[in-house]
Amino acid sequence: MPSRLRPTPLLLALAFLAFLAVPAFQDESMTSFCFRLLELVAMTYSLNLITGYLGYVDFGHIVFYGVGAYTTALLLSGGVALHPALLILPGGAAALLFGLLAGYPALRLRGAYFAIATFSINEAMKAVVLNVDWLGGSEGIPLARYIRLELTTAYYVLLGIAAAVAAFSYTAVRQKFGLGMLAIREDEDVAEALAIDTTRYKLLTYALSGAVAGLAGGIVGLAHVYVSTEYFDVGKSIEMFVIMMLGGAGTALGPLLGAFLYFLIKDFLILRSPHLHLVIFGLIIVFIVLFLPAGLVGYLRERSGRLRALLE
Amino acid sequence: MPVAFATLLQTVINGLLVGGVYGISALGLTLVWGIMDIVNIAHGELMLLGAFACYFLFVGYGVTPVVSAALVVPLGMATGLFPYRTVIRRVVGRPALASLLLTFGVSLFLNNSMLNLWSPTIRSVGWFPGSLALGPALIPGTRLVAFAVAVLAAVLLYLFLSRTYSGRAIRAIMQDPEAAAAMGVNTRAILLLAFGLGTAFAFLAGSLLATVRPFAPQFAVSYAIIAFVIVVAGGLGNPMGALLGGLLIGLIESFTGTFWSQAYTPVVVSLLLVTFLLVRPTGLFRGARA
Amino acid sequence: MAGQAVRAEAAGGQGLLVLRGVTKRFGGLVAVQGVSFAVAEGETVGLIGPNGAGKTTLFNVITGAVAPEGGEIRLGGERIDGLRPHEIAQRGVRRTYQIVRPFPNLSLLDNVLIGSLFGGTGRAGEAARERAREMLAFVGLTDKAAMLARDLNLAEKKKLELARALASGPQLLLLDEVLAGLNPVEIDRSLALLAEIKGRLGTTIVMVEHVMRAVLRVSDRVVVLHQGEKIAEGRPEVVAGDPRVIEAYLGERVG
């Protein structure tokens, strides 16, 4: 087969290489801005797996982030001394396990029922964390006396997570696993009639995307040397949804492009009022659902037949 | 006796009375959900609009919440027409993904508009109609009035759904949209009416809730979750189930608060939701859909 | 021939697919009542009957989409009733839908690729892709491989579903009104395609069909359902003249 230029992996690779170069400038504020950007990129790729590719709306996706952050923080404060890159692994594993346990009943639900269940799972976890003493309650868990982590180190770890989930998103849809997810999104009954073990696929996707969010939560918690119920806050869920919709749900470039777009628009709007940007983003989401269901990537693809074959 | 009778009675009274208001809120949600298969994620925000209407009428003009309750119904009806005509109707019949994300956008818009306009300050309607003694327990006047208004609204809705042409058309579409359309029901007009009614009931529930406990825009999610749980418990598209489910959730919430901790209410509600969905996806009460 | 007979015997019945006393109710409504018949390997059986006779329900029961209340279903001798739909599909059963259900936002190639990747004879990697292209060529949709399924017309969508169902090389193919809504030219083309599936691929077929001309031409045998029960079974030309069958159809037209 003749090799063809594939701009999607090229763009992804260039973007992540650019991220890789950021700490070299030794500009603290720039690195910390990009850290925040990468956090949302990684989280949105993770949400995109379950919602964009599998078609299950997860309004409570942030719960995995919280579970990962708290697991990592508890291990650290409990005296487990490991390199931070290793310390977040149990956080990811806990999120994976949580995904399997919560997903087993929740994924028997479809459509709106699943979406509501996820909402409620997150609220429940938040209430538990807020009220259980050894989880820090409303005080959270301060970590500064256990660890001093260079922002650069945390940055590279987060970059690794984001790049890995982006690469997975790109490659998955050309493989059995990804096509199985898409089939379920398109028509779950038909997918099942085509011999796809939908229960297994859904559970794996949910737990896997949860693990990614758990790893991200862990490293962010370490970088900020503090975890609290903020890690279960719906605010971040909202940002993830806005980014996914802006860039293009169910596309491999969407979360990356969406995150840039989100910060551009937000920076522009936030000058006026702290809540105004979310008012506008609410309208933008409505507009996207009605007119551009595949976001910016979808728009570019519709505009030109050539782009359609190139952008994924 | 480990638990004082007075405590028990008080818990039941508090739970049942608020449960009536929850029931009204769930009625609004189930009307829309049952008839057009759209789960309105913005339901909690609509309730808060009702709460703010009640608050401003009381604080600004001294309007008694009972009168406000009557005023917010047409106000809600009129408000509901706008989102329906502009956006909601475009996702009727489309997959859940589209309607969920669309109403999520609407909720984001409404919630942050309220935060912008009225700030995250927690407010309460300072209306104190006194209270009644019932044996060793007290019936707070606000709750009693809220419950009475809720019951009246439910009865009126029942009469509307059973006695009028439009009401019967709503029920017909809930049970079998295709058959209803084949019988010549003007589906478009009826959907519009149902969305208006759903919004009106959200407004009403919100205005009543504002007299019972403090409120703020950021509470919208918890309002909505309670309404979702009730609809699921009561059975989708089952108005009677919504009312009974409201009472049930009101009681459960009240008992959780008395015997465990108010803070754990979301945990209990969440466990209930998942249990209902898995064990009795058609609701606890057999009704219109059975 | 002898070997085949022995195999059928070992399979505990008279063929690849055997239904015995299959019953399905919805609430108080009987959709399928004590239906029994068998389909031999390589055979094409037409399933006919007036609207509401229970044909699609029977397909849903065979594929596991709904569970039967009574009776048993065997595929190659193994009981499949009570299995989950993907487990039944895993054993080589594929279907098309009365109201077409392609994956609308995926390309035609991906639609068929999904068909060839999953299932008992599922292929992997490039072999699956090759198989998908072959199947698209087989139904004549090669030029449109990169288009999205939602942009096809009805006849093309039906062909796409057929390609998707065939891609795994099924043992048993259930066709639910593949001809409905097509114009006469398209019907002829589809019939030629069916003949080829039967002849070249040797697939066992059960088809629900309203276009009688097609049923008579393609089927080896016909099973007639009426109000959920089997009222006749036999060679197409014989069944077409059966008074009970005529009455069932006439009854529908008058009532």
Residue B7 within a domain: yes
Distance (Å) from the alpha carbon of A234 to chain B's nearest alpha carbon: 9
Q: Which chains touch B (3 or more CB pairs under 8 A)?
A: A
First vs last Cα of chain B: how many Å apart? 42
Q: Which chains touch C (3 or more CB pairs under 8 A)?
A: A
User: What confidence score (pLDDT) does residue C140 get?
Assistant: 93
**Chain C touched by A189 (CB under 8 Å):** yes
Q: Which residue of C has its CA nearest to A201?
A: C86
Distance (Å) from the alpha carbon of A238 to chain C's nearest alpha carbon: 25
Which of A194, A202, A308, A312 has the most C C-beta neighbours within 10 Å, making it the best mutation to test the interface with C? A194
- Residues of chain A with a CB closer than 8 angstroms to some CB in chain B: 51, 55, 57, 59, 105-106, 108-113, 115-117, 119-121, 123-124, 126-128, 130-131, 234, 238, 241-242, 245, 273, 275-276, 278-279, 281-286, 288-290, 293
The three-state secondary structure class of C72 is strand
Distance (Å) from the alpha carbon of C37 to chain A's nearest alpha carbon: 22
- Chain C residues inside the 8 Å CB shell of A201: none
C window 164-183, beta carbon within 8 A of A: 164, 168
B188, with CB counted inside 10 A (0-12, 13-18, 19+), is exposed
Structure confidence at residue A273 as a pLDDT band (50, 70, 90): low
User: What confidence score (pLDDT) does residue C250 get?
Assistant: 66
Tens digit of each residue's pLDDT (9 = 90 or more) over B197-216: 999 999 999 999 999 999 99
Residue B286 within a domain: no
- Chain B residues inside the 8 Å CB shell of A265: none
User: What confidence score (pLDDT) does residue B87 get?
Assistant: 94
Q: Which residue has the higher pLDDT, A227 or A119?
A: A227
CA–CA distances in Å: residue A281 to residues A17, A47, A240, A270: 29, 18, 12, 12
CA–CA distances in Å: residue A168 to residues A32, A200, C68: 25, 18, 41
Report the CATH number of the A3-310 domain: 1.10.3470
* Phi, psi dihedrals of residue A101, rounded to the nearest 5°: -70, -45
Distance (Å) from the alpha carbon of A113 to chain B's nearest alpha carbon: 8
CA–CA distances in Å: residue A138 to residues A127, A128, B263, C148: 10, 11, 12, 51
User: Do the Cβ atoms of A192 and C85 come within 8 Å?
Assistant: yes
Q: Which residue type, as a one-letter code, is found at position A65?
A: Y
Q: How many CB atoms lie within 10 A of CB C124?
A: 11
Structure confidence at residue B289 as a pLDDT band (50, 70, 90): very low
User: Do the Cβ atoms of A123 and B97 come within 8 Å?
Assistant: no
Q: Please state, in angstroms and rounded to a whole number, the distance separating the CA atoms of residues A249 and A50.
A: 10
Residue B187 within a domain: yes
B28 conformational bin, left if phi > 0, alpha if psi -120 to 50, beta if neither: alpha
* Phi, psi dihedrals of residue C204, rounded to the nearest 5°: -75, 130
Q: Mean pLDDT check: name the lowest of A2-6, B239-243, C124-128.
A: A2-6
Q: Which residue of C has its CA nearest to A298?
A: C105
For tokens 């589809």, the residue is C190
User: Do the Cβ atoms of A195 and C113 come within 8 Å?
Assistant: no
**Chain A touched by C110 (CB under 8 Å):** yes
For C176-184, what is the mean pLDDT?
Answer: 88
- Chain A residues inside the 8 Å CB shell of B229: 120
DSSP codes of every residue in A236-285: HHHHHHHHHHHH-TT-SSHHHHHHHHHHHHHHHHHTT-TTHHHHHHHHHH
Distance (Å) from the alpha carbon of B143 to chain A's nearest alpha carbon: 26
Q: Which residue of A has its CA nearest to B264?
A: A127
For A8-31, what is the mean pLDDT?
Answer: 92
Distance (Å) from the alpha carbon of A10 to chain C's nearest alpha carbon: 22
Residue B101 within a domain: yes
Tens digit of each residue's pLDDT (9 = 90 or more) over A67-112: 999 999 999 998 888 888 899 999 999 999 999 999 998 898 888 8
- Output the six-digit token pair for A136: 């820090």
CA–CA distances in Å: residue B38 to residues A237, B16, C218: 21, 28, 44
What rounded mean pLDDT belongs to chain B?
Answer: 89
Question: C35 forms bridges with which residues in the sheet?
Answer: C22
Domains and CATH numbers, chain C: 2-92+171-250 (3.40.50.300), 103-169 (no CATH)
Tens digit of each residue's pLDDT (9 = 90 or more) over A122-144: 988 988 898 888 888 888 999 98
* Phi, psi dihedrals of residue B281, rounded to the nearest 5°: -60, -15
C125, with CB counted inside 10 A (0-12, 13-18, 19+), is exposed
Tens digit of each residue's pLDDT (9 = 90 or more) over A143-198: 988 888 889 999 999 999 999 999 999 998 889 999 999 999 999 999 999 999 99
Q: Please state, in angstroms and rounded to a whole number, the distance separating the CA atoms of residues B20 and B245.
A: 9
pLDDT surpassing 70 at residue B221? yes
**Would you list the domain boundaries of chain A?**
3-310
Q: Which residue of A has its CA nearest to B275?
A: A105
Tens digit of each residue's pLDDT (9 = 90 or more) over C204-254: 999 998 877 788 888 999 999 998 899 989 998 888 888 888 887 766 544
Tens digit of each residue's pLDDT (9 = 90 or more) over C140-168: 999 999 999 999 999 999 999 999 999 99
User: What confidence score (pLDDT) does residue A2 get?
Assistant: 40
Q: Which residue has the higher pLDDT, A20 or B236?
A: A20
User: What confidence score (pLDDT) does residue A142 get?
Assistant: 92
- Reported ipTM: the value is 0.89
pLDDT surpassing 90 at residue B273? no
User: Do the Cβ atoms of A116 and B97 come within 8 Å?
Assistant: no
User: Is A252 in contact with A117 (CB distance < 8 Å)?
Assistant: no
C65, with CB counted inside 10 A (0-12, 13-18, 19+), is middle
Q: Which residues, including other chains, have CB under 8 Å from residue C39's CB and lie 6 or more apart?
A: C15, C16, C17, C18, C45, C172, C204, C206
**A to B CB pairs, distance under 8 Å:** 130
User: Do the Cβ atoms of C65 and A182 come within 8 Å?
Assistant: no
Residue B290 within a domain: no
Domain membership of residue B86 as a residue range: 3-122+140-279
Percent of residues, chain B, with pLDDT higher than 70: 96
Q: Please state, in angstroms and rounded to a whole number, the distance separating the CA atoms of residues A163 and A310.
A: 20
User: Do the Cβ atoms of C168 and A195 come within 8 Å?
Assistant: yes
Distance (Å) from the alpha carbon of A92 to chain B's nearest alpha carbon: 23
Q: Which residue has the higher pLDDT, B1 or A301?
A: A301
- Output the six-digit token pair for C241: 């003249």
**Number of domains into which chain B is organized:** 1
Q: Which residues, including other chains, have CB under 8 Å from residue A36's CB and lie 6 or more apart?
A: none
Q: Which chains touch A (3 or more CB pairs under 8 A)?
A: B, C
Tens digit of each residue's pLDDT (9 = 90 or more) over B164-189: 999 999 888 888 777 787 777 888 88
Tens digit of each residue's pLDDT (9 = 90 or more) over B36-61: 889 999 999 999 999 999 999 999 99
Structure confidence at residue A309 as a pLDDT band (50, 70, 90): low
Structure confidence at residue C255 as a pLDDT band (50, 70, 90): very low
User: What confidence score (pLDDT) does residue C4 get?
Assistant: 42
Residue B133 within a domain: no
pLDDT surpassing 70 at residue A14? yes
User: What confidence score (pLDDT) does residue B239 get?
Assistant: 86
User: What confidence score (pLDDT) does residue A272 get?
Assistant: 64
User: Is B80 in contact with B195 (CB distance < 8 Å)?
Assistant: yes
Distance (Å) from the alpha carbon of C124 to chain A's nearest alpha carbon: 8
- Output the six-digit token pair for A111: 């459509």
Structure confidence at residue C120 as a pLDDT band (50, 70, 90): low
Q: Which residue of A has its CA nearest to C95?
A: A193
User: What confidence score (pLDDT) does residue C251 get?
Assistant: 65
Q: Which residue has the higher pLDDT, A223 or C202?
A: A223
Smallest CA-to-CA distance from C110 within A253, B97, A178 is with A178
First vs last Cα of chain A: how many Å apart? 20
Tens digit of each residue's pLDDT (9 = 90 or more) over C43-59: 999 999 888 788 999 99
Nearest by CB to residue B105, choosing from A130, A131, A286, is A286
For tokens 């492009």, the residue is A257
User: Do the Cβ atoms of A179 and C113 come within 8 Å?
Assistant: yes
User: What confidence score (pLDDT) does residue B171 get?
Assistant: 87
Tens digit of each residue's pLDDT (9 = 90 or more) over C59-80: 999 999 999 999 999 999 999 9
pLDDT surpassing 60 at residue A202? yes
- Chain C residues inside the 8 Å CB shell of A187: 101, 103
Q: Which residue has the higher pLDDT, A180 or A113?
A: A180
User: Is A54 in contact with A185 (CB distance < 8 Å)?
Assistant: yes
Which of C60, C93, C94, C103 has the most A C-beta neighbours within 10 Å, making it the best mutation to test the interface with A? C103
CA C198 to chain centre: 12
